[in-house]
C-alpha cells in the first residue's frame, strides 16, 4: 500500500481513494480484455492486425467512451481515450496485442481465471493488465481532479509484439506527447532500452552424407523456441558412424527415430521465454542443433558446428558479442528456423548495448559470416536504435520520486533488453508493471497478482499527476 499520508499531494490521495472504490470494476474490465485472443492474424477491413486485435481495440475505446473521455480510432492501428485541456499532453502507451500461446498451459490461456491470488491469462502481465490499470489511473484523475491544465491521453496500440507498425502509423497522424510513459517494463523505470535488431541469416545447406532436409521451429523472433523438428538424410557410407553416435545420445528433451532406412527424424523440446532474456528459457533449436552436431559424421561436422555455435545466446557465433557499462552484455535469441529446398533461414533477435549502433553490428556480423566454412550470408536486417535517458532527466527523477513515496523502495532505474513503445515516441520512458511472483512475459501460464493490479493503478495515478506538474 502506498504511503499516502507521508508525502503524496491531496490530489493523488483523492485519485487513489477513487481507485480503491473501483477495484472490482478494474479487475472485471481487465478480465474482459484478457479473454480476447488478440494475437496478430490476417488483416480485415479496419483491422490491420486481425479481427481479434480489432475486438480488443473496440473494447478499449468502449471503456473510454463509457468513462466520458474523448476517443479516437486511429485506422485500426491504435486508438486513444483522452480528457483535459491545455497545450501540453501527457500520455500512457499500452498495447492490447499478445504473443502466441504455445503448448504447456495449465490454465486456459484466454480464460482470465482467478486462481488463488492471481489472474491467469496471456496478456495479464504483458500488457493488458498494466494498460487497463493505467487507463483507470487516468480515469481516477479525471474524476477527482479534472483541472490539471494538461490533456491526459491513454493510447492503445495493436502491434507492439510483432513490429510496432501501430506506433509508426500513429506517429504519422497524431501529436507527440510532451511527456510519456509506457507501462511495460520494470520498476521504477528503465531509462535505457538496448537496441533491437532482427538478423536474417541464410545458409546454403551443405551437400554431405548427413544432409539437412528440414529444420523448423519458432513463432516469433522475440520468443525462445520451445519446439524444434529436424530431419536429415544419411548416406549409406555414413550410417554406421551416425548410428554409433546415436547410442551416446543423452538429451532426454530430444527424441529421434528412423523414418526410413536413410532419414533420421529429430524432435526437440525446450521452454519459451522472452527473446530479451534467452537464458531464462531453454531453446529447443539449440538442443536440436547440438544433437545434430554430435551425431554428424566427421565429414559434415564443420557445417553443423557453425550452426550450433551461431545460436550462442551471447552472439559469439555471429561475431557480435560485447557489452558496455550502462547496459551490460548483448543477448542473441535464435527465434525462428526454417528450410526451403537447399536453403536454411535463421532469424535472430538481438538486443545490443545502448552505446552501439546498428551499422557497427551489421559490419561485425557480415565479416564473421565470411570467415565460416559454409556459405552463410546476412540476408536481411531491421534495426530499432537504443533509447537512453540520463538519470538526472526531470521525467526520470519525477517517476523515481513517485515510486519511492508509494513503496519506500529506493531501487535505481535500470536498462532493459526488451523494447517498448518508449523507443517509438519522444520524451517517453517505460515504467514498471508487476512484482516478484507475477511470472514472466511470454511464458506459459502468464499471471498477475490481483492486488498488484490494484497497486499498479495507484502508482500510475501518482506518476501521471507528477508528469502533469512538470
pLDDT per position as a tens digit, 37-61: 999 999 999 999 999 999 999 999 9
pTM metric for this prediction: 0.75
Q: What is the pLDDT of residue 244?
A: 95
- Residue 6 confidence (pLDDT) above 70: no
Kindly report whether the peptide bond that precedes residue 106 is cis, defined as omega within 30 degrees of 0. Answer: no
The pLDDT, as a whole number, for residue 264 is 98
Q: What is residue 173's predicted lDDT score, i.e. its pLDDT?
A: 95
pLDDT (0 to 100) of residue 206: 84
Q: What is the pLDDT of residues 126-144, one digit of tens each?
A: 999 999 999 999 999 999 9
Question: Which phi and psi angles does 457 have, rounded to 5°?
Answer: -60, -40
Instruction: Indicate left, alpha or beta for 207 from its phi (over 0: left) and psi (-120 to 50: alpha).
Output: beta
The pLDDT tens digits of the residues spanning 251-294 come to 999 999 999 999 999 999 999 998 989 999 999 999 999 999 99
For all residues of the chain together, what is the average pLDDT?
95
pLDDT tens sequence across 171-211: 999 999 999 999 999 999 999 999 999 999 999 998 889 99
Predicted confidence band of residue 419 (pLDDT cuts 50, 70, 90):
confident
Q: Are strands 428-432 and 195-204 parallel, antiparallel or unpaired?
A: unpaired
Which CATH code, of 3.30.70.360, 3.40.640.10, 2.40.50.100, 3.40.50.300, is assigned to 196-384?
3.30.70.360
CATH class of 10-194+387-469: alpha beta
Whether the predicted pLDDT of 423 surpasses 90: yes
- Separation of first and last alpha carbons in the chain: 25
Domain(s) labelled CATH 3.30.70.360 in the chain stretch across 196-384
Residue 302 CA to residue 86 CA, distance in Å, equals: 65
Check: CB of residue 417 under 8 Å from CB of residue 424.
no
pLDDT on residue 418? 76
| Structure-block grid coordinates of residue 328 | 551490460
Tens digit of each residue's pLDDT (9 = 90 or more) over 84-99: 999 999 999 999 999 9
Percentage of the chain modeled with pLDDT above 70: 99
Chain-centroid distance of CA 226 in Å reads: 16
C-alpha radius of gyration, the chain, whole number: 24
Helix (H) or strand (E) holding 458: helix 450-469
pLDDT in tens, 308-354: 999 999 999 999 999 998 899 999 999 999 999 899 999 999 999 99
CB atoms within 10 A of CB 206: 21
Per-residue confidence band for 7, with pLDDT thresholds at 50, 70 and 90: low
Q: Where in the chain is the domain with CATH 3.40.630.10?
A: 10-194+387-469
pLDDT score at 2: 40
Residues in the chain: 470
> How many contiguous H segments (helices) and E segments (strands) does the chain have?
11, 22
Which residues make Cβ contacts (< 8 Å) with residue 435, sequence separation at least 6?
187, 449, 452
Residue 5 pLDDT level (bands cut at 50, 70, 90): very low
Amino acid at each position: 500500500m502506498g504511503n499516502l499520508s507521508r508525502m503524496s499531494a491531496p490530489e493523488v490521495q483523492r485519485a487513489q481513494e477513487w481507485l480503491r472504490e473501483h477495484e472490482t470494476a478494474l479487475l472485471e474490465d481487465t478480465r474482459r480484455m484478457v479473454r480476447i485472443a488478440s494475437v496478430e492474424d490476417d488483416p480485415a477491413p479496419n483491422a490491420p492486425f486481425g479481427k481479434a486485435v480489432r475486438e480488443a481495440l473496440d473494447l478499449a475505446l468502449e471503456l473510454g467512451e463509457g468513462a466520458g473521455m474523448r476517443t479516437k480510432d486511429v485506422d485500426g492501428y491504435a486508438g486513444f481515450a483522452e480528457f483535459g485541456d491545455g497545450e501540453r499532453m501527457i500520455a500512457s502507451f499500452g498495447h492490447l496485442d499478445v504473443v502466441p500461446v504455445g503448448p504447456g498451459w495449465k490454465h486456459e490461456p484466454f480464460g482470465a481465471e482467478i486462481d488463488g491470488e492471481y489472474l491467469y491469462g496471456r496478456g495479464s502481465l504483458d500488457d493488458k493488465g498494466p494498460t487497463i490499470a493505467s487507463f483507470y489511473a487516468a480515469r481516477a484523475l479525471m474524476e477527482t481532479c479534472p483541472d490539471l491544465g494538461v490533456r491526459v491521453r491513454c493510447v492503445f496500440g495493436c502491434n507492439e509484439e510483432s513490429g510496432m507498425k501501430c506506433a509508426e502509423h500513429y506517429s504519422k497522424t497524431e501529436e507527440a506527447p510532451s511527456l510519456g510513459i509506457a507501462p511495460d517494463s520494470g520498476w521504477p523505470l528503465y531509462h535505457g532500452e538496448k537496441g533491437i535488431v532482427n538478423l536474417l541469416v541464410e545458409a546454403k545447406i551443405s551437400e554431405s552424407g548427413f544432409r539437412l532436409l528440414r529444420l523448423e521451429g519458432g513463432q516469433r523472433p522475440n520468443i525462445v523456441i520451445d519446439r524444434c523438428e529436424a530431419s536429415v538424410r544419411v548416406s549409406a557410407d555414413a550410417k554406421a558412424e551416425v548410428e554409433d553416435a546415436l547410442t551416446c545420445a543423452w538429451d532426454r528433451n530430444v527424441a529421434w527415430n528412423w523414418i526410413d532406412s536413410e532419414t533420421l527424424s529429430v524432435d526437440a523440446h525446450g521452454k519459451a521465454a522472452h527473446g530479451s532474456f534467452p537464458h531464462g528459457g531453454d531453446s529447443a533449436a539449440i538442443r536440436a542443433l547440438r544433437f545434430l552436431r554430435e551425431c554428424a559424421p566427421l565429414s559434415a561436422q564443420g557445417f553443423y558446428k557453425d550452426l550450433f555455435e551461431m545460436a550462442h545466446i551471447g552472439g559469439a557465433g555471429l561475431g557480435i558479442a560485447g557489452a558496455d557499462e550502462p547496459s551490460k552484455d548483448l543477448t542473441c535469441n535464435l527465434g525462428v528456423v526454417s528450410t526451403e529446398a537447399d536453403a536454411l533461414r535463421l532469424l535472430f533477435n538481438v538486443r545490443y548495448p545502448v552505446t552501439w549502433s546498428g551499422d557497427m553490428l551489421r559490419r561485425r556480423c557480415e565479416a564473421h559470416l565470411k570467415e565460416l566454412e559454409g556459405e552463410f550470408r546476412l540476408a536481411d536486417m531491421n534495426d530499432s536504435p537504443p533509447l537512453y535517458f540520463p538519470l538526472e532527466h526531470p521525467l526520470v527523477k519525477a517517476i523515481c520520486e513517485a515510486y519511492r513515496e508509494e513503496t519506500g523502495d529506493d531501487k535505481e532505474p535500470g536498462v532493459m533488453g526488451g523494447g517498448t513503445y518508449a523507443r517509438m515516441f519522444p520524451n517517453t520512458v517505460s515504467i514498471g508493471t508487476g512484482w516478484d511472483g507475477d511470472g514472466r512475459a511470454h511464458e506459459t501460464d502468464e499471471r498477475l497478482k490481483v492486488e498488484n493490479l490494484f497497486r499498479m493503478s495507484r502508482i500510475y495515478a501518482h506518476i501521471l499527476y507528477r508528469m502533469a506538474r512538470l
